[in-house]
């Protein structure tokens, strides 16, 4: 359920890659720090670091899984199908009851850089690439445990601040 909330928040906020990275790291090794789990999960060559290629590999696979018709693009329907397969039914019902926007359409809207109404592989991978580039603070092409720790701590801090703002806004709205 925690992973589903992370995915939902990411889709709505447009920060899918970063939030999913945290959720995947926590799911892969729930008793480890997110940076340790991140490196353990993605370090396929065993050097104790994560390269951009290693970081993007899961996104490449996820794109292929999500592109149901194999046309090289992910549209809102395909993104919605993938979302619906990952989120519990009760959460989907609650989203619908609250009139929340369609997750597939939201996902495409947030990642569609060229405005063609669909996501190509580059657009799909762009948030992961951007997150990796923020993580790799010394620009050496790999993310170390130290860099990953700082990145995840910053992400958690920003998410907490955003949640506090949302809570404050919710409290400021008059109830009818």
This prediction's pTM: 0.73
- Say how many CA atoms lie within 13 Å of 112 toward its Cβ: 16
Angle value at C-alpha 6, between 11 and 25, nearest 5 degrees: 120
Count CA atoms within 13 Å of residue 169 on its CB side: 6
pLDDT at 150: 97
Q: Do the Cβ atoms of 15 and 127 come closer than 8 Å? A: yes
Helix (H) or strand (E) holding 88: none
Token pair in block for residue 60: 């490449």
Contact 17/11 with Cβ under 8 angstroms?
no
- Residue 169, pLDDT score: 83
Q: Say whether 119 sits in a helix, a strand or coil.
A: strand
Asked if the model's pLDDT at residue 111 lies above 80, the reply is yes
Percent of the chain with pLDDT over 90: 73
- Cβ–Cβ under 8 Å, residues 66 and 78: yes
Encode pLDDT of 22-54 as tens digits: 555 556 556 789 999 999 999 999 999 999 999
Q: What is the per-residue pLDDT across 83-92, written as a single tens digit (0 to 9) for each?
A: 999 999 999 8
Q: How many Å separate Cα 142 from the centre of its chain?
A: 20
Does an H or E element contain 153, and which?
helix 145-172
Instruction: Please give the Cα distance from 124 to 128 (Å, whole number).
Output: 8
For the 2-172 domain, the top CATH level (class) is mainly alpha
Q: Which residue has the tokens 């970063």?
A: 18
């Amino acid at each position: 359920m925690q992973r589903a909330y992370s995915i939902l928040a990411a889709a709505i906020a447009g920060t899918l890659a970063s939030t999913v990275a945290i959720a995947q790291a926590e799911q892969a090794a729930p008793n480890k720090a997110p940076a340790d789990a991140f490196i353990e999960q993605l370090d396929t060559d065993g050097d104790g670091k994560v390269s951009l290629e290693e970081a993007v590999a899961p996104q490449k696979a996820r794109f292929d899984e999500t592109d149901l018709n194999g046309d090289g693009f992910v549209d809102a329907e395909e993104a919605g199908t993938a979302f619906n397969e990952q989120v519990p039914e009760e959460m989907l019902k609650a989203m619908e009851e609250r009139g929340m926007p369609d997750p597939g359409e939201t996902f495409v809207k947030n990642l569609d850089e060229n405005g063609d109404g669909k996501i190509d592989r580059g657009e799909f991978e762009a948030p992961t690439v951007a997150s990796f580039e923020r993580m790799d603070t010394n620009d050496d092409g790999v993310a170390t445990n130290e860099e990953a720790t700082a990145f995840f701590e910053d992400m958690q801090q920003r998410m907490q601040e955003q949640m506090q703002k949302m809570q404050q806004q919710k409290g400021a709205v008059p109830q009818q």
